[in-house]
């Protein structure tokens, strides 16, 4: 039996593969080296982020013995408050709404 000293096709393919990380790094490098960028292009890439979410633990109101209907009412009220917060209302505006 002869021993083949060349690389197998599997080993050759693994060496030629480019990982996602390498692709991202190359893309970032090309963006940094590109000096022909205009202000309009930078503005078009601007991203708007949603405001941070406000988390209030649900356990404080639910502490103690509650019936199922009381707990469900409390849960529904908490859901409504959360949806009003997502709309951008402050705590005082939520109290006024309720």
Report how many domains make up the chain.
1
| DSSP secondary structure code for residue 70 in this structure | H
List, for residues 56-78, the tens digit of each pLDDT value.
Answer: 776 777 777 888 898 888 889 88
List, for residues 17-59, the tens digit of each pLDDT value.
Answer: 778 888 999 999 988 888 887 788 777 777 766 566 666 776 7
Exposure b/e, 66-95, CB count within 10 A at least 16 = b: eeeeeeeeeeeeeeebbebbeeeeeeeeee
Q: Judge whether 41 lies within some domain.
A: no
Q: Which domain holds residue 90?
A: 68-97
Contact 70, 82 (CB under 8 A): no
Chain center to CA of 50:
11
Q: How far is CA 18 from CA 6, 27, 28, 29, in A?
A: 22, 13, 15, 16
Q: What is the pTM of this model?
A: 0.40
Q: Judge whether 46 lies within some domain.
A: no
Q: What pLDDT, on a 0 to 100 scale, did the predictor assign at position 1?
A: 46
Q: Judge whether 8 lies within some domain.
A: no
Q: Judge whether 35 lies within some domain.
A: no
Q: What pLDDT, on a 0 to 100 scale, did the predictor assign at position 14?
A: 58
């Amino acid at each position: 039996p002869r021993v083949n000293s060349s690389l197998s096709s599997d080993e050759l393919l693994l060496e030629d593969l480019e990982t996602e990380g390498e692709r991202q790094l190359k893309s970032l490098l090309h963006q940094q080296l590109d000096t022909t960028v205009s202000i309009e292009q930078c503005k078009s890439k601007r991203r708007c982020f949603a405001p941070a979410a406000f988390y209030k633990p649900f356990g404080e109101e639910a502490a103690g013995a509650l019936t199922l209907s009381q707990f469900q009412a409390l849960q529904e009220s908490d859901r409504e408050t959360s949806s009003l917060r997502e709309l951008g209302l402050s705590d005082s505006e939520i109290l006024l709404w309720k």
